[in-house]
Amino acid sequence: MTLLEVQNLTVTYAGGAAAVRGVDLSLATGRKLGIAGESGCGKSTLALALLRLLPAGTRVGGKILLDGEDILTMRWGQVRAVRWAGASIVFQGAMHSLNAVHRVGDQIAEPILLHRMATTAAARRKAGELLEQVGLPAARASAYPHELSGGQRQRVMIAMALACEPRLIVADEPTTALDVMIQAQILRLIEQLVSEQDVGLIMISHDLAVLADTCDRLAVMYAGRVVEEGPARQVYEDALHPYAEALSSAFPRIGDPASRFAPHGLAGDPPDPSALPSGCAFHPRCAVALDVCGTEDQALRVASRERRAACTHVPADPGEGSVT
């Protein structure tokens, strides 16, 4: 069953150009979708849109259906109910957003009290259980954030995200601030927890190798668009789009401390949304660009039963038609 369906999502920040440009994605209940791409490609913008956390004045178009209900047209009261209980988010560097003057157990219990109306004692008990689920002793509930390591704080954030038993968790580069060994542990922990609890996961990272190890499907974003989407292993090992290919050859396997390089053979940076190249936004950096790539925009199209890509070198599967 479909848990999340994003249709033609477009996000334009106040005074800026579109940072997300017509994204279609879907996620089945209990499945894991990875989203990869260099900095500035619109991954966080997409994540924030999913929970309506974008700054005031941002224009958002399209649909975001969670269990069939459009998050974009919900009343605020409903949006608040959805956050935590329907869908919750683990941010990039979120562990710095713990409140320094409150014990971590109370911070985990807070959303339970807010959204579940549990008694204080029951919420406290649940906080202890959640800490154990994320690999910390329940007694750490009485610790203050500064008494925990970075990895432990990120585990607390994950416990908070799980507190109200959401059906969808969005993890936006949840481990970027941590050292490499801890990163792998935390990513595995998130994956285990979602698998055990049948929660849907959207995991954002610029590291394709990590996502290929932890997710069912993988979407690669470039300049605010999904340029390739398909089964995670296939996208990682045999990318169809030249950008996905460059990203996958950039990152050796998980656990390799040298795994943070610019994409292989790919000079420059993704374009600013306000200065997009004509045609395919990737063409100025593409090693296999043709003349047509500078003039014709490339839509995401069905390449085979399970795969979609937006590149002139990838013909649409005649049996499938194009994705609209």
- For tokens 């219990």, the residue is 109
Binding of ligand ADP at residue 269 (CB under 6 A)?
Answer: no
Residue from 27, 36, 41, 95 in contact with ligand ADP (CB under 6 A): 41
36 contact choice in ligand ADP, Mg ion, none (CB below 5 to 8 Å, kind-dependent) = none
Query: Which lies closer to ligand ADP via its Cβ, residue 11 or residue 163?
Result: 11
Q: Across-strand partners of 89?
A: 170
Contact between 40 and ligand ADP (CB under 6 A)? yes
The minimum distance between CB 40 and ligand ADP, in angstroms, equals: 4
Task: Report if residue 44 touches ligand ADP, rule: CB under 6 A.
Answer: yes
Q: Which residues bind Mg ion (CB under 5 A)?
A: 43-44
Helices (H), the chain: 43-50, 76-85, 104-116, 120-133, 150-162, 180-197, 208-214, 232-237, 242-250
Considering only residues 54 through 113, tell me which ones interact with ligand ADP, judged by CB under 6 A: 55
Binding part of the chain for ligand ADP, among 12-20, 80-88, 96-104, 123-131 by CB under 6 A, reads 12-20
Work out what residue 83 binds among Mg ion, ligand ADP, none; the CB cut-off runs from 5 to 8 Å by kind: none
Closest CA to 281 of 256, 257, 310: 310
Select from 3, 4, 6, 19 the one that contacts ligand ADP (CB under 6 A): 19
Q: Determine, following the binding rule CB under 6 A, whether residue 271 of this chain makes contact with ligand ADP.
A: no
Residue 213 beta carbon to Mg ion: minimum distance, rounded to whole angstroms: 20
17: buried, middle or exposed (CB in 10 Å: 19+, 13-18, 0-12)? middle
Does residue 39 belong to the site contacting ligand ADP (CB under 6 A)? yes
Determine if 147 is a binding residue for ligand ADP (CB under 6 A): no
Q: Classify 18 as helix, strand or coil.
A: strand
Which amino acid is present at 35? Answer: I
Q: How far is the CB of 27 from ligand ADP (least distance, A)?
A: 18
Q: What share of the chain is helix, strand, coil (3-state, %, to 5)?
A: 40, 20, 40
End-to-end CA distance of the chain: 21
Contacts with ligand ADP: how many residues (CB under 6 A)? 14
Contact region with ligand ADP (CB under 6 A), list: 39-47, 179-187, 252-260, 305-313: 39-47
In whole angstroms, give the CA distance from residue 234 to residue 35. 14
* Residue 273 found at the interface with ligand ADP (CB under 6 A): yes
Question: Exposure pattern of 217-242 as b/e (b: 16+ CB <10 Å)?
Answer: bbbbbbbbbbbbbbebebbbeebbbb
Residues lying near ligand ADP in the complex (CB under 6 A): 13, 16, 19, 37, 39-45, 55, 272-273
